[in-house]
Chains A and B, each alone.
Chain A
Amino acid sequence: MKVLKIATAGSVDDGKSTLIGRLLYDTKSLTDDKLEAIEKTSKQKGYDYLDFSLATDGLVAEREQGITIDVAHIYFSTASKSYIIADTPGHVEYTRNMVTGASTSQAAIILIDARKGVIEQTNRHFFINNLLRIKDVIVAINKMDLVDYSEEVFNTIKSDFEKLMAKRDYQGQKITFIPVSALKGDNVVNSSERTPWYNGQTLLEHLEELDLEDIYNTGTPRFPVQYVVRPKTEEFHDFRGFTGKVYGGELSVGDEIVVLPSMTRSKIKNIFFYDQEYQTAPRRSSVTITLEDEVNVSRGDMLVKVGDLPTIDKQLTATVSWMDSDSLVTGGKYVVQHGINKVLAKVDAIEHKINPDYSGIEENANTLQMNDIAKVRLKFNKPIFYDRFKDHRTNGSFIIIDTRTNHTAGVGFIE
C-alpha cells in the first residue's frame, strides 16, 4: 500500500473544499454520521445540493465565511493507495499555509475557476509549487458546469497556464490539466459524459497512477543527532546511543563516518530500532546508532559518510518565503533552525525580491512583508552543515524564528 500526500491550492471560492468533499464522497470515504451531518446542515442552509465543504472546514469562522483559513489534513484510501490531503487556504494572507502544506507533499492540485481563468493567485500557487519542487502538479479547471462544459474555455485556460510554465525555474515538473465540476462530480472520481471532448483521466484515476518516485532520496545520508540515550543501568552501563532520523540515503553497520562539526572519524558499530539490531537504517527511519570509538557527540551534531561531506559554512544564500506579520529587516537578528540544529542568524542582505508572477525581480529591498519571497544572504554565529535544496530537500531547508515572539516567521530554501 502506497501513501500519497497531496497539497491543494486555489483562490477563495474556487471550490477546493468542495473538491475534497467530492473525492471523499465518491470514494465512499465519508461515514454515515458525517454524511448525515452534511445533509442536515445543507438543508438548514437552504441549499438544493450537498455542501461538501462542510466536511473539511473545521473552524467556526470558516463555516461562517464559507472560506478555509487553516491547513486541514484529510485522510482517505482506495484499494491501491492511502491519501493524505493537505487542504491549504488560497486566501491571500494565508499563503504561508500553502508553503507549509506543500513542504511535505509529493503532488499538488491547483484549482482554477473556469469562469475566471488564470488570475494573479494562480501565478502565485504555481510559483510556490515550483519553488518547492513538487514533482507532479494537477491543474483542475473547476466549475465547468458554469461554462457549459466548454472545450474552448478549457483550452484557453490551459494555454494561458502554459505561458506561466515557460518561465518556471524547475523545468522537470510534470503538469496535467483536467476539466472538473466538484459540485456536480464531473471527472473527479467518475468520468463525465458532459465533457465528450476530454479523453484524459479523471482526477482520481490520475492520482492512482502517479509514479511515487522518492524525491527525498538523494543517496547522500545525513544523520542529525536528536538526543543522546545514556541509560546508566547495570546492563547498559557504557551504552551511548545517538538517536535521530536518517535523511537522504541509508546508513549501515561498518560505514565510516565523520562527526560534524568536530570532524572526528569513527565507524558505525550498531544500529538499533527499539531492542532489535539491524544491518541497515533506510531513509526516514528513526534509529539509535552507536559508534566504534568513544567520541564526543551531542544534539545538533551530524553524522555523515566519509567523502560525502555537506557544505560547512557560517553563511549562505537562500530563497526565503516570509510568513509573519512582523517584517524581516536587513541587519535583523533571528534564530535559524536547520533541521534540529539552532543557530543565531543575522540578515546580511536582501539581494532581491522575486515577483510571484514571474514578472521579474525587485532590487533595493530592505524589508520583507508577509507573503514576500526573496533571495536573502544570512550569516550565523557558528557553522551549519547544509546541502542545496535542489539536491537535498531536508538538509537544504531551514526555518527562521523571530526571537521576540518565538513564531516560525519564515522558511528558506538554500541555493
Chain B
Amino acid sequence: MNTLTEEIVKPEVLELPERPIANALEHEAIYIFREVAAQFEKPVLLFSGGKDSITLVRLAQKAFWPAKIPFPLMHIDTGHNFPETIEFRDKLVDELGVELIVRKVQDSIDQGKVVEETGKYASRNMLQTTTLLDAIEEFKFDACIGGARRDEEKARAKERIFSVRDDFGQWDEKNQRPELFDMLNGQIELGQNVRVFPISNWTELDVWSYIEKENIEIPSIYFAHKRNVFLRDGLIWSAEDAVVFRAADETVEERMVRFRTVGDMSCTAAVESHADTIEKVVVEIRESKISERGARIDDKRSEAAMEKRKQQGYF
C-alpha cells in the first residue's frame, strides 16, 4: 500500500509535492462533484469536447469510482465543431458507459428561436444559450456542471462554485449567495437551476499540468500541426473549414499552429506553436505572454462581453 500523504497532501504543511495547486484543487473538485450528486436530483455534465470538460470527466470518474459517473453528459452542438472533437467525444462516452445527450443549435435555428448571425464575424457562440436553456427545461436538469474557471475572464472571476440561475437562466451577479468555508448551498426553488463549476479555482496552467500528470487523452487539435490559415486582426484563422468566413483578399498560407481553446470554430483562433507534445504545451503555457481568451473573438466584442452573455444564461 502507498501512503496517500506522499501523493496528495502533507497534513502539516499546505504543500503538495510536484504539482501542488493542481493536486490540492483535485480534491476540492472531487468534493464538489460529490456535493452535486448528493444535493441534486437531475444533474448533467456539460461537455464541449474541450480540455476543461475532459478534465471534468476525469475528476467525476475519480469522485465516484468504482461506480460509474451518476449523471449524463450533454453536448450543446453548434454544428461548427472541429471534426476531431466529435470523434473524441463519441469514443470517450463509449469508454465511460454513460449517456450522452446532444442538442443542436441548428435545431433552434430551424425552429425560428434564434437567427443566424451574418457577416465577417458571424458566430453561433451566442446562439448556444437558447439551445442550452431549452435543453435544461426539456430534461428538467437542476444542476449543470461546467468547466468555467475564474482565471479565464474577469466576469468569471466573480462566479460562485454553485451559481443559482432563475427560470430564465439568468445570472444575478449582484445578488449571489456567499460561499463560506467548504459549505455549498444548493437549495433552489422549482424552475431554478444551479450552474456548478468544480474547477473554478484552477488556472489554465493547472489544467494542462493535470492533463500531463494524469496522462489524459485530448483531441489532436490542441497540439501543433500544419494547417492552412489566414490572418485577420492579428489573429490566425483556420482556412480549412467552410464555417469560418474568409474574404477574397484574405490570403491562405500554411503554418504550424495549435488551438489553445476549442470553442465554436467560428470564434476560436489558432496560435503559432511547435508544441506537439503535452510536455511542450505545458512549457509553452508557462511562458505565454498572451492570456488564454486572447484568441477568443467572442470576448473581444466589448469589455463586458462575457458579463452580458452570462446574464442571458450563457455558460
Using Cβ atoms and an 8 Å threshold, which residues of chain A touch B179? Answer: 100, 408
Considering the complex of A and B, which 10 residue pairs feature the smallest CB-CB distances, nearest first?
A: A58-B154, A278-B4, A231-B67, A286-B30, A406-B187, A100-B178, A33-B294, A72-B157, A31-B291, A286-B27
The reply to whether A99 and B178 form a contact with Cβ atoms under 8 Å apart is: yes
**Which chain A residue has the least Cβ–Cβ distance from B29?**
A286
**Is chain B's interface secondary structure helix, strand, loop, or mixed overall?**
loop
Residue in chain A with minimal CB distance to B302:
A60
Say if the beta carbon of A288 comes within 8 Å of chain B: yes
Which of B13, B67, B181 makes the CB contact (< 8 A) with A394? B181
Q: List 9 A-B contacts (CB under 8 A).
A: A96-B178, A226-B31, A227-B37, A239-B66, A273-B4, A277-B1, A280-B5, A285-B8, A340-B35
- Does B3 touch A at the CB level, under 8 Å? yes
Residues of A within 8 A of B153 (CB): 58
Interface 1/0 per residue, B163-204 and A, CB below 8 Å = 010000000011011111111010111000000000011010
Q: Which of A160-168, A243-251, A376-384 contacts B (4 or more CB under 8 A)?
A: A243-251
Cβ contact within 8 Å between B4 and A280: yes
Given contacts A56-B154, A70-B176, A103-B181, contact A278 B2 (CB under 8 A): yes
- CA gap between A60 and B307 in the complex, in Å: 8
Does B10 belong to the interface (CB within 8 Å)? yes
Residues A229 and B3 in contact, CB atoms below 8 Å apart:
no
Interchain CB contact under 8 A, B151 and A57: no
Structural contact, B38 and A285, CB atoms closer than 8 A:
no
Bound Cα distance from A100 to B291, whole angstroms: 28
Apart from the given pairs A32-B290, A217-B11, A399-B180, 17 other A-B contacts in the complex at a CB distance below 8 Å:
A2-B14, A31-B294, A56-B157, A74-B157, A100-B179, A103-B180, A212-B14, A229-B65, A231-B66, A245-B31, A276-B2, A286-B30, A323-B178, A340-B183, A398-B183, A401-B185, A406-B189
A399 to B182, CA, bound (A): 10
Which residues in chain A, 272-330, are within 8 Å of chain B measured between CB atoms? 272-288, 299, 323
If A32-B290, A245-B27, A394-B181 touch, whether A70 touches B173 (CB-CB below 8 Å) is: yes
Residues on B with beta carbons closer than 8 Å to the beta carbon of A250: 5, 11
- Give complex CA distance A406, B238 in Å: 47
CB <8 Å contact, B178 and A285: no
Q: Is B81 an interface residue (CB 8 A)?
A: no
A146 CB–B CB distance under 8 Å? no
Tell me, in angstroms, the Cα distance from A404 to B31 when the chains sit together.
27
**B62 interface contact, C-beta 8 A:** yes
Q: Give the complex CA separation of A106 and B24 in angstroms.
A: 15
Q: How far is the CB of A338 from chain B (nearest CB, A)?
A: 8
A278: B residues at CB distance < 8 A: 1-4, 7
Q: What are the residues of chain A within 8 A of B67 when measuring CB–CB?
A: 229-233, 236
Q: What chain B residues lie within 8 Å of A272 (beta carbons)?
A: 65
Q: Are A214 and B14 in contact, with the CB atoms below 8 A?
A: yes
B residues near A226, Cβ cutoff 8 Å? 31, 34-35, 38
- In the assembled complex, the CB of A84 is this many whole angstroms from the nearest CB of chain B, namely 7
Q: List, in ascending order, chain B residues with CB within 8 A of A229's CB.
A: 64-67
Q: Is A263 an interface residue (CB 8 A)?
A: no
Q: What residues of chain A have their CB less than 8 Å away from a CB belonging to chain B? A: 1-3, 31-34, 37, 41, 55-61, 63, 69-75, 82, 84, 96-97, 99-100, 103-104, 106, 212, 214, 217, 226-227, 229-233, 235-236, 239, 241, 243-245, 249-250, 253, 271-288, 299, 323, 335, 337, 339-340, 393-394, 397-399, 401, 406-408, 411
Which residues on B sit within 8 Å (CB–CB) of A2? 13-15, 20
Q: How many residues of B contact A (CB 8 A)?
A: 67
Q: Closest residue to A231 on the B side, CB-wise?
A: B67
Question: Which of A60, A281, A286, A406 has the largest number of chain B CB atoms within 10 A?
Answer: A286
Q: How far is the CA of A245 from the CA of B303 in the complex (A)?
A: 39
Decide if A104 touches B181 in the complex (CB within 8 Å): yes
Inter-chain CA distance A337–B38, complex, in Å, is 14
A3-B24, A96-B178 known; A282+B66 contact, CB < 8 A: no
Give the Cβ gap from A228 to chain B, nearest Cβ, in Å. 9
| B158→A71 contact, CB < 8 A | yes
Q: Is B122's CB within 8 Å of the partner chain A?
A: no
Contacts of A231 in B (CB 8 A): 66-68
Please report the C-alpha to C-alpha distance between residue A273 and residue B64 in the assembled complex, in whole angstroms: 10
| The one of A34, A61, A241, A285 that contacts B9, using a Cβ cutoff of 8 Å | A285
Contact: A72 with B201, CB < 8 Å?
no
Q: A3-B20, A249-B11, A401-B185 are in contact. Are A59 and B34 (CB under 8 A)?
A: no
A residues near B11, Cβ cutoff 8 Å: 214, 217, 249-250, 282-284
Interface bits B275-315 vs A (CB < 8 Å: 1, else 0): 00000000000001111001000000001100100000000
Query: Taking the nearest CB of chain A, how far is it from the CB of B166, in angstroms?
Result: 12
Does residue B12 face the partner (Cβ distance < 8 Å to A)?
yes
Contacts of B68 in A (CB 8 A): 231
Q: Which residues of B contact A63 (CB under 8 A)?
A: 303
Residue of B whose beta carbon sits closest to that of A102: B180
Pick from B9, B14, B154: contact of A57, CB under 8 Å: B154
Contacts of A235 in B (CB 8 A): 66
Does B135 belong to the interface (CB within 8 Å)?
no
Taking CB atoms, residues of chain B closer than 8 Å to A233 are: 66-67
Q: Contact between A271 and B4 (Cβ–Cβ < 8 Å)? A: yes
Q: B7, A275: Cβ atoms under 8 Å?
A: no
**Interface code B109-138, partner A: CB below 8 Å = 1, 0 otherwise?**
000000000000000000000000000000
Residues of A within 8 A of B291 (CB): 31, 33-34
Closest chain B CB from A291 CB (angstroms) = 16
| A408 engages B65 (CB within 8 Å) | no
Note all chain A residues with C-beta closer than 8 A to B176.
70
Question: A115 CA to B5 CA in the complex, in Å?
Answer: 50
Q: In the complex, which residues of chain B have a beta carbon less than 8 angstroms from the beta carbon of A277?
A: 1-2
Q: Kindly state whether residue B63 has any CB partner on chain A within 8 Å.
A: yes
Q: Which residue of B lies closest to A96 (CB)?
A: B178
> Given contacts A278-B2, A285-B27, A406-B185, is CB(A97)–CB(B178) below 8 Å?
yes
A236 near B66: Cβ-Cβ < 8 Å: yes
- Residue with the greatest number of chain A CB neighbours at <10 A, chosen from B11, B61, B173, B189: B11
Chain A CB within 8 A of B150 CB = yes
Q: Which of A3, A59, A73, A411 is the one whose CB lies under 8 Å from B14?
A: A3
Question: In the assembly, what is the distance between CA of A288 and CA of B181, in Å?
Answer: 21
